[in-house]
Amino acid sequence: DQQVKQNSPSLSVQEGRISILNCDYTNSMFDYFLWYKKYPAEGPTFLISISSIKDKNEDGRFTVFLNKSAKHLSLHIVPSQPGDSAVYFCAASAGETSGSRLTFGEGTQLTVNP
Amino acid sequence: NAGVMQNPRHLVRRRGQEARLRCSPMKGHSHVYWYRQLPEEGLKFMVYLQKENIIDESGMPKERFSAEFPKEGPSILRIQQVVRGDSAAYFCASSPRIAGAREQYFGPGTRLTVT
């Protein structure tokens, strides 16, 4: 039962353009969502997160949008840079206190072409 | 300001041997999580520990796998009698004991190869 899904295994964009990575979830108990970036042979690096009480969170070039009714979130990267090329994982957790397990999607390989 | 540390980075074991993976959380973090990533898949939760306590082990296989986080020293993920299907990247993450702190910070992982 895949509770967090990233339906696009890969995405290719031109440098300077916008990258949009999508994520869908099925578990209504999820109330906190995170995006991680992962390079080969390294651990995931935290990028940005959003609580279910918000619909948008922005941090520099990264913006996450949450549509609770559709159970959908997206990560926008603008402008995209070649160094952004990596696998991006969407993750979700349930529970109001710290210390909740993360449920991950399968990842989207982003390639930013110079 | 060291991040999450894991060792070894690479571990090769023959079928039937034991594998021990170690994780030191970030300074000031008291929550430790272990995740496993099989080839071509996302990360799957295994276990969540605090010092001397297992809080949630619902993702751990029922046999051969165990985890601990002692009062002193790193967290240990132990796999007994390894099989080829245990070959994967094992990631440790930590988070602080602060209300509302939901982000987890990951180590570089241990890549286990079972031959």
Q: Are B106 and A36 inside 8 Å of each other by CB?
A: yes
Place of tokens 């651990």: A43
**What pLDDT does B40 receive?**
79
Q: How far is CA B13 from CA B20, B24, B75, B83, in A?
A: 10, 22, 20, 9
Give the nearest chain A residue to B40 (CA atoms). Answer: A106
Interface of B with A in 82-101 (CB under 8 A): 91, 93, 95-101
**What pLDDT does B101 receive?**
72
Tell me how many residue pairs between chain A and chain B have CB atoms under 8 A apart: 71
**What pLDDT does B98 receive?**
72
Nearest by Cα to B58 from A103, A23, A43, A3 = A103
Whether the per-residue pLDDT at A98 is higher than 60: the answer is no
Nearest to A89 among B42, B56, B98 (CB): B42
**B108: chain A residues, CB-CB within 8 Å:** 41-43
Residue B98, Cα to own-chain centre: how many angstroms?
Answer: 21
**What pLDDT does A100 receive?**
80
**CB-based contacts of B106, cutoff 8 Å, min separation 6:** A36, A43, A44, A45, A46, B4, B35, B91, B92, B93
For residue B45, how many other CB atoms are within 10 A of its CB? 22
Collapsing DSSP states into helix, strand and coil, what is residue A82?
A: helix
Whether the per-residue pLDDT at A52 is higher than 80: the answer is yes
Instruction: Kindly report which listed range (A33-47, A95-109, B60-74) carries the lowest average pLDDT score.
Output: A95-109
Apex B33 CA angle, B70 and B39, nearest 5:
130
**What pLDDT does A28 receive?**
92
Q: Are A36 and B4 inside 8 Å of each other by CB?
A: no
Is the CB of residue A75 less than 8 Å from the CB of residue A64? yes
**CB-based contacts of A19, cutoff 8 Å, min separation 6:** A11, A13, A75, A76, A77, A78, A80, A84, A110, A112
**What pLDDT does B24 receive?**
97
Dist CA B85 CA B15 (whole Å): 10
The pLDDT-based confidence of A97 (bands split at 50, 70, 90) is low
Whether the per-residue pLDDT at A96 is higher than 80: the answer is no
Query: Which residues are A48's β-sheet partners?
Result: A35
Could you tell me if A98 lies within 8 Å of chain B, comparing CB atoms? yes
Q: What percent of chain A has pLDDT over 70?
A: 96
Place of tokens 């890969």: A10
Q: How far is B62 from chain A (nearest CA, A)?
A: 18
- B22's tokens: 């170690």
Whether the per-residue pLDDT at B65 is higher than 60: the answer is yes
Q: How far is B18 from chain A (nearest CA, A)?
A: 23
Is the CB of residue A100 less than 8 Å from the CB of residue B95? no
Dist CA B51 CA B68 (whole Å): 8
Q: What percent of chain B has pLDDT over 70?
A: 97
- What type of residue is B97? R
